[in-house]
Amino acid sequence: MSRANLVWLLVLPTVLAGSLVVRFASASLPKDKDYERMRLIADVLAEVEKNYVEDLDDAKRQKLVENMINGGLHDLDEHSMYLNPEMLKEFDKQNQGEFGGVGFLMSYEGPGKPLVIDTPLPNSPAYDAGIQAGDIILKVDGVPTDGMKTDEARRLITGKPGTPVTLTMLRGGSKTPEDIPLVRAMIEQPVVSGVSRDAANPLLWNYFLDQTHGIAYIRLTGFSGKTTKEMKAALDRCEAAGAKSYILDLRDNPGGLLSEAIEVADLFLAEGGIVRTMVRGSERAWTAKNDEKPYESPTQRPMVVLVNGLSASASEIVAGALQDNRRAVVVGSRTYGKGSVQKVFDLPDGGAVKVTTEVWLTPSGKHLQRRMTLDSESATVGIEPDPGLKVELTEQQWRHYAIAVKRANILPGKPGVAPKRAVPFEEIESKLPAGYKDPVVEKAMEHLRKK
């Protein structure tokens, strides 16, 4: 199925090509100009093949071509790029919010250090097998993971649902390797979380920072195809538990689907514009609808949105819509500044090209795209926090924040299945100061308590 109708705002790494730049002809140019340019590419490749100091194997030739294409696309803007078939598969996984695998997050902490499980994911094969945070991956189907980074390990671990994979691990602090046979399944990676895991049922979240004042907190880490559904479920739990105000944390959220950004913003708006997109002189606009929900009302449910320099694209649409409509105040630091829309078009080789097709503006008309505004000294890049609500973190505060987020995300091992850890899992807690409080969250709490 063609991906031409999938509209993306996700910030992805772009392949750079050094000094090689390919400029493709526009659709309005005569065909002979297109052919001349294609011939130029072929001539350059032929000369490299004939005269380069080293022989190029097929893999190097393919990489050269991909880099030439991406060099040209990157010169147009930082978000347009060629996706080879392998990259496209990963891209599609992010779109769906689910993938074939065993269900855990892992981290690589540097040369000479092993791959470590950060947390299992709910209701996954890994969780059901008792894999837990702190477990170490030694091998994947017999292939040692020494020096292996997470992307490489992920390619070995993920695969077609229903197929087997065996992980050799050190579990629960044990020094004895153990083979864990698993069967891959479709894995849903949740994008909505709360303050802490529910003590009675760790698969659920506690969403309240301050039960007395009814201050609910929801963290959103991406905009996949199931984001709005997850958000509605979280809001229903908050409302049932007596929420009186909301903090929506969009920090470190790189974006995702435009349609999900629009729907998430609409959850909190009863009226007003959400976003406008412009392409070659034409414009599209989306407006909120009134669902008569209490969390749509700024008087019934005062609201704060948290952002930082890694909040981008879809998260900026939500923050900008809520700020422009005075539905919420924005707390934190200036966002990344990605105000463009990409569409993905399939190619005959099994890959695709992701092309910037539109730019978007906030309801008030602010254009936030980084590359398109930095040439103007007066231009605004990204969403700026409301006056008096900017919070810039020091380097140490950044580290503490990252550790706290990692700790909050940990799902304990499945009761009765996960082995008891030989050493209590206290490594993360020991890196946080006693009584740690997130400065950005504290500023948001201070604002809402006044309400």
Q: How does pLDDT run across 250-266, given as a tens digit for each residue? A: 999 999 889 999 999 99
Active-site residue, selected from the candidate residues 311, 313, 333, 340:
313
Mean pLDDT, the chain, rounded, equals 87
Q: What digits encode the pLDDT tens for the residues 188-222? A: 889 999 999 998 999 999 999 999 999 999 999 99
Q: Is the pLDDT of residue 274 over 80?
A: yes
pTM of the entire predicted model: 0.82
- Asked if residue 95 has pLDDT above 70, the reply is no
Strands 115-120 and 136-140: antiparallel
- Residue 246 parent element (H or E): strand 245-249
Residue with tokens 């049922």: 201
Instruction: Give residue 188's pLDDT.
Output: 86
The alpha-carbon radius of gyration of the chain (Å, integer) is 24
The residue annotated as part of the active site, out of 118, 266, 324, 438, is 324
Mean pLDDT over residues 67-95, rounded?
A: 86
Across residues 435-439, what is the average pLDDT? 94
pLDDT at 1 over 50: no
Q: Which residue has the higher pLDDT, 12 or 159?
A: 159
Which class is domain 96-188? Answer: mainly beta
Name the DSSP class of 97.
Answer: T
Looking at 338, 354, 366, 443, which residue is catalytic? 338
Packed helices 258-267 and 227-240: angle between N→C axes, nearest 10 degrees: 20
Residue with tokens 């540097």: 110
Residue 113 designated active-site: no
Domain boundaries, the chain: 7-94, 96-188
pLDDT band of residue 172 (cuts 50, 70, 90) is confident
> What φ, ψ does residue 32 adopt, rounded to 5°?
-65, -30
Residue 324 annotated in active site: yes
Quote the Cα angle for 205-439-12, to 5°.
70
pLDDT for 8 beyond 50: no
Residue recorded with tokens 């060099």: 71
* Dihedral angle of Cα 265, 271, 275, 276, to the nearest 10 degrees: 160
Q: How many CB atoms lie within 10 A of CB 398?
A: 12
pLDDT at position 451 over 90: no
Q: Which range has the worst mean pLDDT, 14-18, 62-66, 288-292, 407-411?
A: 14-18
